[in-house]
Amino acid sequence: MESLKSLEDLLELMDIDMKIDSLLDTRGSLPELDSYKDAHSDVERIGSAIGAAKDAAGSAAKGLSKTNGELDIAAVKAAEEQNRLYAGGLSARDADYLRREVDMLYGKVSKMEDEVLEYMEAAESAEAQLVALDEERTIAEALKTNLGDSIRTQWQTIDKELEVKEDRKRTTIDLVDPYLIEMYDELRASREGRVVGRLSDDTCGSCHLRLSAAEVSQAQKQDPPRCIHCRSILVS
């Protein structure tokens, strides 16, 4: 009788373990986990884009300041040379030379003015990008936080259930003969699914295959009884 009780407890242990497996599976495959990973990548990606936009804004500001400085100097120089030309008193050759110099200097000034405009446009575009990216990051971070909260809440519920099952498992293991536990553990390690089944209507509760009368008696001759089809431990 004691051995039968042990087998009943082993069947219960199997049920508890199946439930634990299913809880662990649920825990590891919450749909929110994939979404959380996506949201995390989004936050990372946006963070890098913000870094790049900040770099672009920084180099545009630096270029703008440098070119503005050079532009001021070139403009002053051009104006000075032009005044010198307008003042007159130069030989035709010197005047011609100075005119070309003034043209060249104003050409330089005009080129720098274009560059300044380009830097200003680049700075403006980087700033606009930063505003948009900041908004994007706020949304992505909020989504990530919500998903994280949802995962945590579900995990807490699952973990509480797991704790209850683990407690019951410990109590149940104590009720089963150690040699059965050893066999059970080996079977569990070698394959998935049920390894203990109730023999009901000559049908194995693990593989659901029917055993003939001869097979039932063959199965029951073993200690513990084993299904001749799937080798599960049978509880009658």
Q: Residue 228 interacts with Zn ion (CB under 5 A)?
A: no
Nearer to Zn ion, 48 or 200 (CB): 200
Torsion angle defined by CA atoms of residues 217, 221, 223 and 225, in that order, rounded to the nearest 10 degrees = -10
Q: Residue 207 interacts with Zn ion (CB under 5 A)?
A: yes
Q: Residue 133 interacts with Zn ion (CB under 5 A)?
A: no
Nearer to Zn ion, 112 or 211 (CB): 211
Nearer to Zn ion, 172 or 232 (CB): 232
Structure tokens at 115: 């560059």
Considering only the stretches 61-69, 188-196, 210-218, 221-229, report the one whose residues sit in contact with Zn ion under the rule CB under 5 A.
221-229
Query: For every residue of the chain, which 3-state class applies, written as one string?
Result: CHHHHHHHHHHHHHHHHHHHHHHHHHHHCCHHHHHHHHHHHHHHHHHHHHHHHHHHHHHHHHHHHHHHHHHHHHHHHHHHHHHHHHHCCCCHHHHHHHHHHHHHHHHHHHHHHHHHHHHHHHHHHHHHHHHHHHHHHHHHHHHHHHHHHHHHHHHHHHHHHHHHHHHHHHHHHHHCCHHHHHHHHHHHHHCCCCCEEEEECCEECCCCCECCHHHHHHHHHCCCCECCCCCCEEEC
Q: Residue 234 interacts with Zn ion (CB under 5 A)?
A: no
Nearer to Zn ion, 39 or 196 (CB): 196
How many of the chain's residues bind Zn ion (CB under 5 A)?
A: 7
Least spacing, CB of residue 31 vs Zn ion, in Å: 34
Q: Residue 64 interacts with Zn ion (CB under 5 A)?
A: no
User: Judged by CB under 5 A, which of 7, 196, 219, 230 binds Zn ion?
Assistant: 230
Q: Residue 225 interacts with Zn ion (CB under 5 A)?
A: no
Nearer to Zn ion, 79 or 207 (CB): 207
User: Judged by CB under 5 A, which of 7, 123, 227, 233 binds Zn ion?
Assistant: 227
Cα separation, 220 vs 228, whole angstroms: 10
Q: Residue 206 interacts with Zn ion (CB under 5 A)?
A: yes
The Cβ of residue 163 has, within 10 Å, a number of other Cβ atoms equal to: 10
Q: Residue 122 interacts with Zn ion (CB under 5 A)?
A: no
| Interface of this chain with Zn ion, residues 186 to 205, rule: CB under 5 A | 204
Q: Residue 219 interacts with Zn ion (CB under 5 A)?
A: no
Q: Residue 235 interacts with Zn ion (CB under 5 A)?
A: no
- Residue ranges that bind Zn ion, judged by CB under 5 A: 204, 206-207, 227, 229-230, 232
